[in-house]
Amino acid sequence: MEENLLKAEFKSIKAVLDEFDFPNLYTVDGESMRKWVKMVLSNMDNASVASDTDDTILSYENFIVRVSYGATKLVLMNEYSNWVFKIPFKNRKINYCQIEAEIYEDARRENLDKFFAPCYFLENYDGARIYVMQRAEVSYDKLYSDLFERLSSEGRTEEEASDIVDEADSYSEFVDWLFPYYSEEPAEFDKFINFLNCASINDLHSGNIGYINDRVVLIDYSGYRG
């Protein structure tokens, strides 16, 4: 991770956001994001909704910024970058981005970091704490086909494989079904599951799983703590 380059990249992203009357980074929360998305999509021609997600796409000169958010954090990305920027919502008592950065460091110490997209604190910017996470390919279709093909290679029938994948999706069990294939040995996966439990990492639905260099990883692992 080249820290200075990422700081410069974030500054460029912030310059684009300013062109679209983006809320103050220091006070941003879910409500201000909902109002901003409604405003920008209604009033600005070079703002649109991504075709693959509900993300907001901002086009300015030769720069494209993707904006998304959940219950606890804002996520910003230069469309052509290998990193995403995360900012915790101010109205939350818990800094979920800091939790992710700490969990990743803990995972490194336990030699379990290959299951997580790398996450680090980057800098304080205009009163907001900025974090970076390595970008992953997020695709439900890839998760589905990956697990289906691995189950089929073990001799499962097409119907059995489809039922398992559907169950994994319905009950957010892709970690239980798919991640073992990326473990070197069963003991490593058991250690990983124990780590998730000890770190209170929950909410592991398909949208919080992605691929980096064709290896499945968690991309949102702060959990939800109320």
Torsion of CA 185, 195, 97, 215, to 10 degrees: 10
Given 134, 162, 185, the domain boundary residue is: 134
Task: Give the per-residue pLDDT at 67.
Answer: 97
Asked whether residue 36 carries a pLDDT value surpassing 90, the answer given is: yes
| 154 burial via Cβ count (<10 Å: 0-12, 13-18, 19+) | exposed
Asked whether residue 64 carries a pLDDT value surpassing 70, the answer given is: yes
pLDDT band of residue 75 (cuts 50, 70, 90) is very high
Asked whether residue 73 carries a pLDDT value surpassing 90, the answer given is: yes
Q: Are residues 103 and 201 in the same domain?
A: no
Write phi, then psi, for 121 (nearest 5 degrees): -75, 135
Q: What is the mean pLDDT of the chain?
A: 95
Asked whether residue 102 carries a pLDDT value surpassing 70, the answer given is: yes
**In angstroms, how far is CA 90 from the centroid of its own chain?**
19
The answer to whether residues 115 and 174 touch, using CB atoms and an 8 Å cutoff, is no
Dump the DSSP string for 93-114. SS-HHHHHHHHHHHHHHTT-GG
Q: What is the pLDDT of residues 189-209, one digit of tens each?
A: 999 999 999 999 988 999 999
Can you tell me whether residue 9 is helix, strand or coil?
Answer: helix
Task: Give the per-residue pLDDT at 212.
Answer: 98
Could you tell me which residues are beta bridge partners of residue 133? 84, 119
The answer to whether residues 19 and 60 touch, using CB atoms and an 8 Å cutoff, is yes
Section 150-168 average pLDDT: 96
Task: Give the per-residue pLDDT at 92.
Answer: 87
* 42 in a structural domain: yes
Given 134, 156, 176, the domain boundary residue is: 134
* 225 in a structural domain: no
Asked whether residue 55 carries a pLDDT value surpassing 90, the answer given is: yes
Q: Are residues 115 and 169 in the same domain?
A: no
Farthest CA pair distance, the chain: 56
Q: Are residues 96 and 7 in the same domain?
A: yes
In the numeric block, the tokens 């109320």 are attached to: 226
pLDDT band of residue 13 (cuts 50, 70, 90) is very high
Q: How many domains does the chain have?
A: 2
Measured between alpha carbons, how far is 197 from 181 in angstroms, rounded to an integer?
20
pTM: 0.94
Closest CA to 96 of 35, 2, 29, 173: 29
Q: Are residues 36 and 64 in the same domain?
A: yes
What's 182's DSSP letter? G
List, in order, residues 6 or more apart from 77 with CB less than 8 Å away.
Answer: 13, 65, 66, 83, 84, 85, 135
**In angstroms, how far is CA 29 from the centroid of its own chain?**
17
Task: Give the per-residue pLDDT at 1.
Answer: 66
